[in-house]
Amino acid sequence: MAKATKKQALGRGLSALLQDPSNDIKSIQDKNADKVIGSIVELELGAIEVNPFQPRTKFNEESLRELASSIKELGVIQPITVRKLGFNQYQLVSGERRFRASKLIGLERIPAYIRIANDQESLEMALVENIQRQDLDPIEIALSYQRLIDEIQLTQEQMSERVGKKRSTIANYLRLLKLDPIIQTGMRDGFISMGHGRAIINIEDQADQLDIYEKILTHKLSVRDTENAVRNFKSNEDTVTKPTPETLPKFVKKGVKDFSDYFGHKINVKVSKNGSGKITIPFHSEEDFNRIKKLVQRDK
């Protein structure tokens, strides 16, 4: 009788097996684990939570809607990957765009590969999987490499083996994190390319980096033009005495960085002797102007 019951349970499929409390699988050694781990299983979307280790921080809404439309027509072609947390509880390891797009069109279930992994393994899997995607921006990739160093304690050589990239390529991405945060934001938003960033990083002082960045945006400099501008800057750096900057009041110095970080540009501030002054917010395109306008209107 027991054999018949077991056969009937397995006959309902892997999804039914996972929803049976008597067959709760917590490790690779558990009963029936070999039938589930690595197999494609239909899981309820409501049983899956997003991955807190997800390196991607921005999801393009238009791109998500396009993916959702494709899923509506063709279904989820590539299963997501999850790790098992508890009975009928799962956490995304990879495939958050497919997960979000499926929720947009009201799907109740999604095909998924199930893994058994601890937090460290889950983080490493998520980071490595996302690094290999084509739609991450250079700063997201650099941050993912940095997390593998900081949180998984991988060396650049070990990362090279994990992600199939040359060690020099990994080093070039990591160097981008030495750029001023405003320049990093500009790269993430597509105002400049990784080639521009690699040229600018040869300048150590971040204030000087921002000067070159402003020139790139104002004059629409190519990567080669930027490399020439950096070379010219460095060749004149030791021979040209920089003018002493005007001394700004402490309250202004303290606030300029906050303004610059908020608007995503280097903000110019001039203060007269009587204490009055002027704040200048640059913009580099109609799109950039509208972005700044929204930021100002949001605070009204």
Residues recognised as catalytic: 96
Asked if 148 and 124 count as a contact pair (C-beta separation under 8 A), the reply is yes
Asked if 81 and 103 count as a contact pair (C-beta separation under 8 A), the reply is no
DSSP readout, 55-86? ------HHHHHHHHHHHHHH--SS-EEEEEEE
Which of 204, 132, 200 has its CA nearest to residue 169? Answer: 132
Tokens of 118: 């601890």
Tokens of 127: 């980071």
Cα separation, 270 vs 263, in Å, equals 18
Cβ-count burial 196-215 (b if 16+ within 10 Å, e if not) = bbbbbbebeebebbbebbbe
Asked if 181 and 190 count as a contact pair (C-beta separation under 8 A), the reply is no
DSSP readout, 221-249? --HHHHHHHHHHHHHHHTTSPPPPPPPPP
